[in-house]
Structure 1
Amino acid sequence: MFENPSDESTQAILKKSRRIAVVGLSPNPARPSFGVSKIMRTFGYQIVPVRPAVTDVMGEKAYPDIQSVPGEIDLVNVFRNANELMPIIDACIERRVPAIWIQEGIINEEAANKAKAAGIWVIMDRCIYKDYLRLCR
């Protein structure tokens, strides 16, 4: 059974991370991925859109997948269906991404446990924005 990290660990990840790759970042301002990412950017995070078939989101160059993102990624924030998580987890393991945030309402214990077993810090079914407000403001 998957268990989310402690508040202390979550706070530490939020404070340490600066560059967040957002998988499934929609160019539609009405979508939760857009709103959450826009707000996280105001908190000082660099947002890197990961979404095939678009060239940019929020004025930032978009990449088709995790493997295509240049440079270091501190955290991957996932806004995709639970049944689409495993290839994202595999890409994060391959890239040696240190942390994965699986957004509120998305639950795939097998994928989360696979990432955790590979040494990646993982939180699942939680909103990064809500936790940031609760733990870092």
Structure 2
Amino acid sequence: MCLFHIVNSKGILFVKYSLLTVEIYDNIMELGGIVLNTISNMLQARTWAVIGASDNKQKFGYKIFKCLVDNGLEVYAVNPGVSELLGQKCYASIKDLPTKPEAVDIVVPPRHGEQIIRECAEAGIRNIWLQPGADSEELIKIGQQLGLNVVHHACIMVELNK
């Protein structure tokens, strides 16, 4: 059973499907967008931003960005202290991205998370992945209160390589 949150100007509608077909998916998208509700569904997102992307190969911000790129995804690096990563421009903030990603992976300490989650909500980004170490119960609660889909206590690199 798949549970989707449809978020549009009229609020949130919960829709359950036992089998998601292309036709149903297209109909959901026409209603105003989809908030992916499970890890496996979030992994279907094709465009990502990595908040806390790093040019230090030892840091998870680098490893996660590279993993997403290596998996053929369109990925934007976000870090105000880095200008370029793996030959791609690095953006100072979510607001600077050329297009809205379907999902955001957050790889920064929890003390920075609330501002980032609120910026994602303001930008209309509904799918947030909090990496282990970037998550906290408070951030999960804030994301859920804002109507966001929040994956936590899971590493995207592990999930992509299953």
Q: TM > 0.5 between the two? A: yes
Task: Name the Cα RMSD after superposition.
Answer: 1.4
- The aligned counterpart of 2:73 is 45
Q: Which one has the largest radius of gyration?
A: 2
- The aligned counterpart of 1:3 is none
Q: Which amino acid aligns with 2:57?
A: P
Does residue 152 of structure 2 align to residue 132 of structure 1? no
Say if 1:78 and 1:103, in contact at 8 Å, map to a contact too.
Answer: yes
Whose strand proportion is higher, 1 or 2?
A: 2
Normalised by the length of structure 2, the TM-score is: 0.73
Q: Is the deviation greater in 102-111 or in 80-89?
A: 102-111
- The aligned counterpart of 1:70 is 98
1:58 is aligned, of 86, 89, 99, to 86
Q: Distance in 1 between matches of 2:71 and 2:123?
A: 25
Q: Distance in 2 between matches of 1:102 and 1:122?
A: 7
Q: Distance in 2 between matches of 1:87 and 1:105?
A: 16
2:72 aligned counterpart, secondary structure? coil
Runs of 4+ more than 6 Å apart: none
Does residue 119 of structure 2 align to residue 119 of structure 1? no
Does residue 106 of structure 2 align to residue 99 of structure 1? no
The number of residues matched between the two structures is: 126
Normalised by the length of structure 1, the TM-score is: 0.85
Q: Distance in 2 between matches of 1:20 and 1:80?
A: 16
**Deviations 1:12-65 (Å, cap 9, x if unpaired)?**
1101x1111101100111212212221221111111010002221111111111
Unaligned runs of at least 5 residues, structure 2: 1-36
Say if 2:47 and 2:102, in contact at 8 Å, map to a contact too.
Answer: yes
Say if 1:51 and 1:62, in contact at 8 Å, map to a contact too.
Answer: yes
CA deviation after TM superposition for structure 1 residue 105, in Å: 2.3
- The aligned counterpart of 1:12 is 41
Q: Which amino acid aligns with 2:39?
A: T
1:21 aligned counterpart, secondary structure? strand
Q: What percentage of aligned pairs have identical amino acids?
A: 25
